Copies of this chain bind each other. A is one copy, B any other.
Amino acid sequence: MTPGATPAGLDAVELPALADIRAAHARILPFVHRTPVFTCRSLDDVIGAQLFWKCENLQKVGAFKARGACNAVFALPADDAARGVVTHSSGNHGAALAYAARRRGIPAHVVMPDNAPRIKVANVEGFGARIHYCKPTLAAREDACAQLQHATGATLVHPYDDFAVIAGQGTAALELLEAVPDLDAVVAPIGGGGVLSGTAIAAKAMQPDIDVLGAEPAAADDAARSFMSGTLQSMPNPQTIADGLRGALSERTLRALRMHVATIGTCSEEAIIAAMRLIWERMKVLIEPSSAVPLAAMLEGALSVRGRRVGVILTGGNVDLDRLPWQK
């Protein structure tokens, strides 16, 4: 076995409970923001519901991913931690892991395809992580990760198929329900299912009658199909503007969703762009396309929210300001 790596099979589909999410919260609170919950009358009027926006776009590194990464990094035993952490996410999780590792003072290795956008490379490098380039295929990325684990003893921190990461992501919903206790429903977008799993576990344990809803681009609806069928459905190369939601569920996140989620609604690409712009204009905050997916699904009537009090996890705010989706 690679030193520092999680033994294969162990913890394979284990899920955190509310107590783990509370422990994660206590662990990460010195390193993340307790983000505000916004309300916006004019968006409420558009949807016909009372919406409570948990602003993880205002989180450290600009995304909820700081929560899961900090929990995974700070939960490591000291000797494992000293050997560092590794991941092959070039998006928000990569930056979040780099941030968490810097806060703990340990090495972070991030494997990236050699065609990764300069802005993503700079974002991860800015937090002091070491970047390792590889060919732009999933196999090459996983190989590079395995080699790094072997060579350095670093611990792999998967962006969502990870007990500690899911527990960390659940802390956003924990804070939301502490701030607004009487919600009828809570919605989060789905990529690999990490934030929705954490949200669902926290919300159903805190308030068993709450409806947990997922939202996904129709162009990347593998999670909706996995959820309906109960078996993992894959999608080779989903074409959606919501670049944070291109991942596929794991056994672990599928299990959490099947246990706790009421519905997964899907939405068109046009609705994602319209919803993103609506949030920018009305709420005056930057969100990335993935964060607009819950509102997009509501706009298209794919989620039953009318007349209800609904919490929404606004997952992130990292966008390329030179290329906004409503511009030609």
Residues of chain A at the chain B interface (Cβ within 8 Å): 36, 38, 57-58, 62, 277, 280-281, 283-286, 317, 321-322, 324, 326-327
Contacts and interface: CB of A to CB of B under 8 A. Distances in A.
9 contacts: A38-B58, A57-B284, A58-B284, A280-B321, A284-B317, A286-B286, A321-B324, A322-B327, A327-B327
B284 A321 contact: no
Identical copies in the complex: 2
A68 B286 CA distance: 27
A288 to B, nearest CB: 10
Contacts of A277: 321
A225 to B, nearest CB: 33
Contact of A285 (B281, B285, B326): B285
A99 to B, nearest CB: 11
Contacts of A57: 284
Contact of A284 (B281, B285, B324): B285
Shortest 7 CB-CB distances between A and B: which pairs? Answer: A284-B317, A284-B286, A57-B284, A285-B285, A58-B284, A284-B285, A280-B286
Nearest to A326: B321
A62 B38 CA distance: 14
Given A57-B284, A321-B326, 8 more contacts: A38-B58, A58-B283, A58-B284, A277-B321, A280-B286, A280-B321, A285-B285, A321-B324
Given A62-B284, A284-B58, A286-B280, A322 B326 contact: yes
A58 B283 CA distance: 7
Nearest to A126: B42
